[in-house]
Structure 1
Amino acid sequence: MSTAVKMDEDAKSKLEELQAEIRLKTGKKVTQQEVLSTLIQSAVDSRAEFVDSFRDGTTALNETELEEFNQGTIASGVETSEDDIDDVLYG
């Protein structure tokens, strides 16, 4: 089953460029559908990175960055309740 996908002229142009480059570098003629299918599979294989590419601003910290952040934290030994925090923030 085939379904039409709408895309703007810039995306269409880039798809055609990829298609041409594949043919030029591999000698294999591929359809735009094959190119899109391969791109989708590539995105699925690296799903987390692909999803993160749509985030605004910075992405979540990696393990090393989390460890560095946590090294700078200390425990004061005093338990703080949500009510205590609300009192400080909102008076």
Structure 2
Amino acid sequence: MATSVKMDDETKTRLERLQAEIRLKTGNRVTQQEVLARLVENAIESKAELIDSFREERVPVSADEQGAFHEGMISSGTATSEEDIDDLLYG
């Protein structure tokens, strides 16, 4: 049973372009339903990336700013295990 999916005009245009490119490069006609099914199938393989793409960024910083932050981190010289952290947090 087929179900309709509502999408905005830009998304519909992008889907049509993808469908046309598949036909151009493979010589095979595919329906938009087949394209969407394959996209969903592939998304399951990279589910974590898909889910992360919907997360809100809490602090909008550039990649350069993130890099500068991480470069400024230094080691205290003390090894800390997960058990140490648990003890500190949960007593």
TM-score normalised by L of structure 1? 0.64
Q: Give the number of aligned pairs.
A: 69
- 1:72 is displaced (CA, Å) by 3.0
Between the aligned partners of 1:80 and 1:51, the Cα distance in structure 2 is 31
Runs of 4+ in structure 1 over 2 Å off: 71-75, 79-82
Between the aligned partners of 2:88 and 2:30, the Cα distance in structure 1 is 62
- 1:80 is displaced (CA, Å) by 6.1
- 1:55 is displaced (CA, Å) by 1.1
Between the aligned partners of 1:52 and 1:25, the Cα distance in structure 2 is 31
1:13 is matched with: 13
Over 3 Å counting, the alpha-carbon distance change for 1:56 and 1:19 in structure 2 is same
Between the aligned partners of 1:11 and 1:46, the Cα distance in structure 2 is 21
Bigger Cα Rg: 1
1:23 is matched with: 23
Over 3 Å counting, the alpha-carbon distance change for 1:80 and 1:6 in structure 2 is closer
1:72 is matched with: 75
Considering only aligned residues, what root-mean-square deviation do their CA atoms show, in Å? Answer: 2.8
Between the aligned partners of 1:81 and 1:23, the Cα distance in structure 2 is 57
2:52 is matched with: 52
1:36 is matched with: 36
Q: Amino acid of the residue matched to residue 46 of structure 2?
A: S
Identity of aligned residues (%): 54
Over 3 Å counting, the alpha-carbon distance change for 1:80 and 1:40 in structure 2 is closer
TM-score normalised by L of structure 2? 0.64
